[in-house]
Amino acid sequence: MVQRSRGVSKQLSAGVAHLLRKNKVTVIDGQGKLAGKGKLSVEKAGKPVATLTAPHIILATGARARQLPGIEADGKLIWTYKEAMIPTAMPKSLLVIGSGAIGIEFASFYRDMGAEVTVVEVLDRVLPVEDEEISALARKAFEKQGMKIFTSTAVKGVKKGANSVTVTIEAGGKTQDITVDRVISAVGIVGNVENLGLEGTGVKIDRTHVVTDGYGRTGEPGVYAIGDLAGPPWLAHKASHEGVVCVEKIAGVADVHPMDASNIPGCTYCRPQVASVGMSEARAKAAGHEVRVGRFPFIGNGKAIALGEPEGLVKTVFDAKTGQLLGAHMIGAEVTEMIQGFTIARTLETTEAELMATVFPHPTISEAMHESILDAYGRVIHF
């Protein structure tokens, strides 16, 4: 499996390299560093490679896994996402620290592979950025699969053995030890802001990430930042779109819209899948919206039942006064493919009227999207 995944990755990387050559993009291998206004120095192995000048410089150095003090990854017993992607052997048991998208994805994958999996989350629910209702359904599904989940729980320390790790966790003033083969630390990322020559510039750093506007511009004229180095959400498709917006603005393309983070879908590739775009019900209410909420369970969808995937939910949140789609939240089979429908709807500023009048194909799981919209307005048909 690892060999196949690396093969796919290599094929895609080679494709990007080909596109760079095809489009006559010069690639210089080395460590880049700002060296004055409009200047960049490049070194490799401590030796100068090139000095470049340009009116516009885009920083896209990405991010790396955040390390917890005293629980630093060693690549053998304590993994980050990098080691978890390419294990040399299948662990029989593991503990995942953090239940965000990365932590849950690995927890779900390794559980499906047969490992005994424990998840420890310091907050009060798993997938904390998702709608509370979706988080609760996800936890129920994971526990049904045999996953052990501890929320409102802190990791107090680890003790390494020859080929195992004993993790001390604390909840409600009580501690307990859990011994596993491996630990995956998935507690967020930090931006790669070091050694970029940002000192003395107008570039501002906020919690290890470069502060930008909707076009990727920093506080230093002519210097931009995109991707994981810049602000959330830290997702590949956000980074790609951010790059397009940044470069088109530099090139003077007319009608370039600034990045709108609220219209970027989030997908978690666990089992069941989770996907969302826009505001959760709680966030919408906190923002002062009077809301109408629709729900439709997969058990009422013929395609989901036929696939043997009857556990799932589509939830939609509308502004009760304007009909604006404030947010959409899903859990279940193929929801990472379906969320784009709601993303398009939000980008087009579609209201409930157009969505209810839209014809969804049968038989598809996407019909649950339509029913959820109808349910928000008391017009659900098949439930």
362 belongs to the catalytic site: yes
Residues 6+ apart with CB under 8 A from 292: 317, 318, 319, 320, 352, 376, 377
Domain boundaries, given as residue ranges, for the chain: 2-61+191-261, 65-189, 263-376
Catalytically annotated residue among 209, 362, 370, 382: 362
pLDDT in the model for residue 339: 98
Segments of the chain scoring below 50 in pLDDT: none
pLDDT given at position 276? 98
CATH class of 2-61+191-261: alpha beta
Going by C-beta distance under 8 Å and a sequence separation of 6 or more, which residues neighbour residue 193? 61, 205, 208, 209, 210, 229
The chain-wide mean pLDDT, for the chain, equals: 97
Domain 65-189 sits in CATH at: 3.50.50.60
Long-range (24+ apart) CB contacts under 8 A made by 350-358 are: 350/325, 351/322, 351/323, 351/324, 351/325, 352/292, 352/318, 352/323, 352/325, 352/376, 352/377, 353/323, 355/325
**Cα 103 from Cα 166, distance rounded (Å):** 19
pLDDT digits (tens, 9 = 90+) for 303-334: 999 999 999 999 999 999 999 999 999 999 99
pTM of the full structure: 0.95
Provide the pLDDT for residue 54: 97
Does the 263-376 domain belong in CATH 3.30.390.30?
yes
pLDDT digits (tens, 9 = 90+) for 249-265: 999 999 999 999 999 99
Q: What is the pLDDT of residue 192?
A: 98
Query: Could you tell me if 127 and 274 are in contact, meaning their C-beta atoms sit under 8 angstroms apart?
Result: yes
The domains spanning 65-189 and 263-376 adopt the same CATH topology:
no
**Is 228 within 8 Å of 246 (Cβ atoms)?**
no
